Homo-oligomer: A and B are copies of this chain.
């Protein structure tokens, strides 16, 4: 991590952010050094505190904007799901999600590296449990939907299993997103994983009705 590799034809704040980005991505929040971030930006550490109150605030200045855009999109998707009548919601959610994958991917790919950072290098910040919280949110939505499903004759997989599947799905999606593959591949595979989990789950449900798993 050499000195002064960040372009100098930018406002100070942006130079600091560019340098911080580089260091946080390479080392994670904890291992990155304010001193090196500053010197790499061409400033002294003190300068940094004119713009950001602390190392953590600096991190959030990088992570918050893309993260909140993504969270907003997820909220939108969730809200759209909520417009479905409750008894059709569980099986309609997927279609809505699939249809939004390209837009969601666009959003994520606007700054995929930051998503990676939040997922893998945010220990010590408010995002350190980001993935777990995301899973929690989705579980909540799905479970509500599952309670209102109309076909009472098919018994759903139990809630814990659902949670685990959801965790697996989300972990897998983020693993994929963060893996460095190109956007088209990621979009394709997000759909792929969706179908795999869907098909798998449906086969589970059928089997549950026929016999015991």
Given contacts A30-B31, A203-B199, A204-B192, contact A168 B172 (CB under 8 A): yes
Copies in the complex: 4
> In whole angstroms, how far apart are the Cα atoms of A171 and B172 in the complex?
7
> In whole angstroms, how far apart are the Cα atoms of A191 and B69 in the complex?
36
Q: Which residue of B lies closest to A169 (CB)?
A: B172
Q: How does the 8 Å CB contact mask read for A157-199 relative to B, with 1 for contact and 0 for none?
A: 0001100110110011001100101000100110011011101
Q: Which residue of B lies closest to A193 (CB)?
A: B168
Residue among A160, A165, A193, A196 with the highest chain B CB neighbour number at 10 A: A196
Closest beta carbon of chain B to A199's beta carbon, Å: 5
Residues of B within 8 A of A189 (CB): 161, 164
Closest beta carbon of chain B to A133's beta carbon, Å: 14
B168 touches A175 (CB 8 A): yes
Residue A112 lies at the interface, judged by CB distance under 8 Å to chain B: no
Closest beta carbon of chain B to A84's beta carbon, Å: 24
Residue A22 lies at the interface, judged by CB distance under 8 Å to chain B: no
Residues of B within 8 A of A65 (CB): none
Residue A28 lies at the interface, judged by CB distance under 8 Å to chain B: yes
Residue A11 lies at the interface, judged by CB distance under 8 Å to chain B: no
Closest beta carbon of chain B to A159's beta carbon, Å: 12
Residues of B within 8 A of A123 (CB): 28, 31
Given contacts A196-B201, A200-B200, contact A31 B124 (CB under 8 A): yes
A175 touches B179 (CB 8 A): no
Closest beta carbon of chain B to A115's beta carbon, Å: 15
B167 touches A175 (CB 8 A): yes
Given contacts A161-B188, A164-B189, 8 further A-B contacts (CB under 8 A): A28-B123, A31-B124, A161-B192, A171-B172, A192-B213, A195-B204, A197-B200, A199-B200
6 A-B pairs in the complex with CB atoms less than 8 angstroms apart:
A161-B188, A164-B185, A164-B192, A167-B175, A192-B204, A197-B200
